Structure 1
């Protein structure tokens, strides 16, 4: 069915599919996709494995905690605000509060 769509519509559908997949990715799934264990993440962050489990189960956390976690996987975190009638705005200037320690 996708092959029968015009190129521009197919590209839009494929991009939206990628967006939906990105929206649904959990920290645990991202870690596993990178072939990292909770123990390995704990070593990278100098915390206990149990704290990695807690971070991955949270639905609300400090931005600095999320940033530390993402950076431990070799990535970077950008916080982008999407407001009506404006282009996306990358927010900056959050404090570097430490991740959960033992």
Structure 2
């Protein structure tokens, strides 16, 4: 007989369920589109357009892009109240935060 997902999850120990739920939250945080992030922050495209002093249609274009300038992404993230860091993950070593991309001054703060 087949079990539903709820039945399988309910059969796990509370500790295991907690670990699974935590990992799920981590995965959701790790992979998010600009549109999903904006919506999670309860911001509209119109509100973002006002913050960036551009047309709403341009917000839609930015959110659909798969390739953009780092400066464009940084400006968009900052308009949502965040900061942007560029982190490289290299084999055999920990994550490295790349400098010179964090602000619009070419790395000179």
Task: Show structure 1 runs of 5+ residues with no match.
Answer: 98-102
C-alpha RMSD over aligned residues: 2.3
**1:96 aligned onto 2:67:** no
Aligned length: 96
Determine the structure 2 residue equivalent to 1:84: 91
When Rg is computed on C-alpha atoms for both structures, the one with the higher figure is: 2
**1:51 aligned onto 2:58:** yes
CA shift for structure 1 position 72 = 0.3
Q: Find 1:66's aligned residue among 53, 56, 73.
A: 73
CA distance, structure 2, for counterparts of residue 38 and residue 85 of structure 1: 41
TM-score, with normalisation over the residues of structure 1?
0.77
Residues 90 and 36 of structure 1, relative CA distance in 2, 3 Å threshold: same
Q: Find 1:33's aligned residue among 31, 40, 43.
A: 40
Task: Show structure 2 runs of 5+ residues with no match.
Answer: 1-8
Structure ranking higher on relative contact order (CA contacts 8 Å, 6+ apart): 1
